């Protein structure tokens, strides 16, 4: 396991994932009943952008959060996300308003949780898990598990709260990771049929979506919305040109809320004319 998220922290894919994650948390909170937030591949929680070692490659955050940092007139969801990163950066010790510390998914979601909500973060790399434990040491109703995130839906669902939002954000290093995602999602849905699952995936040869999308569509496992963002056209693609989030059991009205957010992200994060977004139902809500 060689993956180091530090190099990618704050890139366009993180912006896309983290903005939608915060919107999902808020959508869950439209109902007063508490829920469990389960982040199966949580990372270390805090990334020092000044130390992101890209092995000689340019850092990725300037074309991600860097594009939003000084932008005016952002739509509310993006302004809210930038304000959260700004607050984190300051609290983490940045000397002025210069961006240096970027929060990962656990620390972007945690401040939104209500006292009655609960969170569980899984991270397999000991160093990353230890760092996340330090970040979460004083958080209430929050536990870091040094365990395999793919086993977490089976182990932790259904939650006491009976409602759950599960983020699955693997590194996609191994060839079979999407297959493992599909098994974890199916096990989770069997135990908690109404749980919301958000699965991040790269749009690249690295991970075909077929092992997840085929069973979801063919066996209509749950209403499923697919949101995708491409920052460059396929012909120009060097490295990661796009990514997506498959959302099973999306909260009510989430599609309508996500559309303008995706359109704004295309405008802000485009690297060339091929930039585009997509929001489609893989399995329609009414079926």
Ligand X SMILES: C[S@@+](CC[C@H](N)C(=O)[O-])C[C@H]1O[C@@H](n2cnc3c(N)ncnc32)[C@H](O)[C@@H]1O
Give least dist CB 235 to ligand X, A.
27
Question: Do the Cβ atoms of 278 and 226 come closer than 8 Å?
Answer: yes
Give least dist CB 103 to ligand X, A.
8
Residue 169 is among the residues annotated as catalytic for this protein: yes
Kindly indicate which of the ranges 61-69, 117-125, 187-195, 226-234 contains the residues binding ligand X, using the contact rule CB under 6 A: 117-125
Cβ closest to ligand X, residue 85 vs residue 283: 85
Please list the residues that pair with 165 across neighbouring strands: 37, 196
Q: Which residues contact 221 (CB under 8 A, 6 or more apart)?
A: 185, 186, 189, 215, 248, 283
Give least dist CB 255 to ligand X, A.
22
Indicate if the alpha-carbon torsion angle 93, 61, 270, 105 is positive or negative: negative
Give least dist CB 37 to ligand X, A.
12
DSSP assignment of 7-59: GTTTSHHHHHHHHHHHHHHHHHTTSSS--EEEESS---SEEEGGG---TTSPP
Binding mask 32-71 for ligand X (x = CB under 6 A): ---------xxx----------------------------
Q: Please tell me the distance from the alpha carbon of residue 15 to that of residue 18, in angstroms, as a whole number.
A: 5
Kindly indicate which of the ranges 83-91, 143-151, 158-166, 203-211 contains the residues binding ligand X, using the contact rule CB under 6 A: 143-151
Q: Which of 14, 39, 169, 280 is catalytic?
A: 169
The single residue listed with the structure tokens 């120009």 is 236
Kindly indicate which of the ranges 56-64, 87-95, 146-154, 237-245 contains the residues binding ligand X, using the contact rule CB under 6 A: 146-154
In what helix (H) or strand (E) does residue 151 lie, and over which residues does it extend?
none
Cβ closest to ligand X, residue 199 vs residue 283: 199
How many other CB atoms sit within 10 Å of the CB of residue 172?
Answer: 16
Give least dist CB 122 to ligand X, A.
5
- Exactly one of 117, 169, 228, 237 binds ligand X (CB under 6 A); that residue is 169
The token duo for 32 is 């007063």
Kindly indicate which of the ranges 84-92, 169-177, 181-189, 239-247 contains the residues binding ligand X, using the contact rule CB under 6 A: 169-177
Q: Is 153 in the site for ligand X (CB under 6 A)?
A: no
Q: Is 105 in the site for ligand X (CB under 6 A)?
A: yes
- Exactly one of 24, 59, 60, 125 binds ligand X (CB under 6 A); that residue is 125
The token duo for 78 is 């993006």
Question: Do the Cβ atoms of 31 and 116 come closer than 8 Å?
Answer: no
Kindly indicate which of the ranges 59-67, 112-120, 163-171, 215-223 contains the residues binding ligand X, using the contact rule CB under 6 A: 163-171
Question: Do the Cβ atoms of 38 and 164 come closer than 8 Å?
Answer: yes
Give least dist CB 108 to ligand X, A.
8
Please list the residues that pair with 20 across neighbouring strands: none
Q: Is 122 in the site for ligand X (CB under 6 A)?
A: yes
Cβ closest to ligand X, residue 88 vs residue 254: 88
Q: Is 135 in the site for ligand X (CB under 6 A)?
A: no
**Is residue 30 exposed (0-12), middle (13-18) or buried (19+ Cβ within 10 Å)?**
exposed
The single residue listed with the structure tokens 């439209």 is 30
Active site (catalytic) residues: 169
Site residues for ligand X per CB under 6 A: 1, 3, 5, 14, 17, 41-43, 104-105, 122-125, 128, 148-150, 169-171
């Amino acid at each position: 396991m060689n993956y180091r998220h530090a190099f990618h922290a704050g890139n366009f894919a993180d912006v896309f994932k983290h903005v939608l994650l915060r919107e999902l948390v808020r959508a869950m909170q439209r109902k007063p009943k508490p829920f469990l937030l389960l982040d199966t591949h949580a990372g270390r929680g805090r990334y020092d952008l000044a130390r992101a070692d890209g092995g000689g490659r340019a850092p990725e955050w300037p074309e991600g959060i860097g594009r939003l940092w000084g932008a005016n007139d952002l739509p509310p969801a993006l302004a809210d996300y930038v304000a959260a990163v700004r607050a984190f950066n300051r609290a983490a010790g940045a000397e002025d308003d210069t961006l240096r510390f970027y929060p990962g998914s656990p620390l972007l979601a945690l401040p939104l949780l209500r006292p009655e909500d609960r969170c569980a973060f899984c991270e397999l790399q000991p160093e990353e898990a230890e760092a996340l434990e330090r970040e979460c040491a004083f958080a209430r109703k929050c536990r870091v598990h040094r365990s395999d995130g793919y086993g977490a839906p089976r182990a932790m669902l259904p939650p006491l709260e009976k409602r759950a939002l599960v983020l699955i954000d693997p590194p996609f290093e191994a060839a079979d990771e999407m297959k493992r995602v599909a098994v974890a999602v199916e096990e989770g849905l069997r135990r908690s049929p109404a749980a919301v699952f958000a699965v991040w995936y790269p749009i690249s040869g690295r991970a075909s979506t077929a092992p997840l999308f085929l069973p979801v569509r063919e066996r209509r496992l749950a209403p499923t919305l697919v949101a995708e963002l491409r920052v460059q056209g396929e012909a120009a693609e060097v490295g990661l040109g796009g990514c997506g989030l498959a959302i099973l059991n999306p909260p009510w009205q989430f599609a309508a809320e996500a559309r303008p957010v995706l359109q704004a992200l295309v405008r802000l994060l485009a690297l060339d004319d091929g930039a585009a977004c997509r929001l489609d139902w893989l399995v329609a809500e009414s079926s």
